[in-house]
Structure 1
């Protein structure tokens, strides 16, 4: 049986052997990958490393790889949104699981631990500004997974159907994926936990209203009122669901840790957001 070769149009490799967008070589990627949205936050994470042996950047994708104790860690900025997550997760997987010389999938696949550390807004009154929350699941309101063959277990499908019926947003085709139970136990065991909602935008898709009228009025109230067997929708951001869904398809472990900077029910925003983010970074690095 012939081995399928991936075309040059499907997998674009730069002249220096690096992958198209991330500009990384296969050896640049550690088994532990921390993703951040903001390129400036990469240095805020890597400054805690004992050593940094790689710094690369292209567009919004900035990468530092180094060592913390006896662990090698890659920190990578994704930019905002699941459209960028589509690029980052596909290219990370290609870097570790595709032989760039033969353009074929490797016989032995490598599984990465992918940990998102990002900012988010609470949609429940009992989750205040300043909290650090671990996402048990990601619920996507974007269209990314309409283009992929799903790989969800029956529990995720059942919960997604319950949420979709509650929200009355069938036309959006929400998708839901659980995060890594291994990483949740390791990093988020004593943190607040909940289902994180991933929106395809910052303003109307997250229920904000500035000048344009919103199509889905009362979105925050609909989201925050869902509860099923102690599972609740807890916060809003723009990447988690895409990370969880693609990591699940590719066989990687993924966890999203969220610094709560906004309280959408009480209309509050953090007075010192950088302090909250710094506390989150230190907590994750201590537990990796």
Structure 2
């Protein structure tokens, strides 16, 4: 059987040989990748590099490749949400594993190591503001992975069913269809070390209603957060809300890459506290990830 040919409408390559959204060329991508949401945080990560090799910016996607203690690393911003993670993950996988000249998959697969550094909302008394959380498992309320073949083979179906029953979403046509996915165990253990909490992260499809925040619009289920906070599975609880970890873990697992997410808690929903002056402290988390990736 011949190799699959990727048509121009499916794999869009810019005139300069770069991938459509990220504007990165294959030779500009390192095999160790740090993802951040905020384009401004790319410079903060790269400020620790010993040398800068390339810098590219397109829309919300900003990328810098350089070296940190003899490790070649690319740091890329994704913007907010699982939809953007879908773009970034598919494009970096294409950069690593598709020949842009022949538009065919490369003979040898390249495994990428991807760590997302972000911020989140803590959901438990033991996840106060300033806590570092590594997502051992992620649950996607966004539905992204349900569009890809093979999702059942990589997801924790028992966890999905337990959560559906706990939230009362079974049989509800208007409720999300969550998917539950494990981070890469070796990578999560290495990155989290002995100074981060590991737990279950829920990736939401929005910042307000999907995370139980109510401004002028009333919520479909005002008790949703209390249900999520009380959920238990194999001795684990849901530790935090954010908006990207499930898509990253799920797509990485389907593609054959290693990925995990680490976040700093900047709001604790249980204690109803928030800290917007977190930017200095997150540099400590960045340094830990750079040392361990």
Q: TM-score scaled by structure 2?
A: 0.95
List aligned pairs for 1:57-136, cutoff 5 A: 57-136=57-136
Aligned to 1:184: 188
1:203-261 residue CA offsets vs partner (Å, 9 max, x unmatched): 00100001111112112111111112211111001000010110011000001001000
Aligned to 1:169: 169
1:58-83 residue CA offsets vs partner (Å, 9 max, x unmatched): 00000000000110000000000011
List aligned pairs for 1:165-244, cutoff 5 A: 165-170=165-170, 171-190=175-194, 191-244=196-249
Report the 3-state secondary structure (helix = DSSP H, G, I; strand = E; otherwise coil) of the residue aligned with 2:18.
coil
List aligned pairs for 1:248-287, cutoff 5 A: 248-270=253-275, 272-287=277-292
Report the aligned-residue RMSD: 1.3
**Unmatched tracts of structure 2, length 5 or more:** none
**How many pairs align?**
288
1:104-161 residue CA offsets vs partner (Å, 9 max, x unmatched): 1112111100000000000112211000010001100012122111344477112222
Deviates more, 1:141-150 or 1:243-252: 141-150
> Is the 1:166–1:226 contact (alpha carbons within 8 Å) kept by the matching residues of 2?
yes
Report the 3-state secondary structure (helix = DSSP H, G, I; strand = E; otherwise coil) of the residue aligned with 1:87.
helix
- Tell me by how many angstroms 1:282 deviates: 1.5
- Tell me by how many angstroms 1:164 deviates: 1.8
Whole-Å separation in 1 of the counterparts to 2:135 and 2:246: 10
Q: TM-score scaled by structure 1?
A: 0.97
Whole-Å separation in 1 of the counterparts to 2:221 and 2:28: 43
**Unmatched tracts of structure 1, length 5 or more:** none
- Tell me by how many angstroms 1:278 deviates: 1.5
> Is the 1:151–1:248 contact (alpha carbons within 8 Å) kept by the matching residues of 2?
no
> Is the 2:35–2:114 contact (alpha carbons within 8 Å) kept by the matching residues of 1?
yes
Aligned to 2:39: 39
- Tell me by how many angstroms 1:271 deviates: 5.8
> Is the 2:138–2:202 contact (alpha carbons within 8 Å) kept by the matching residues of 1?
yes
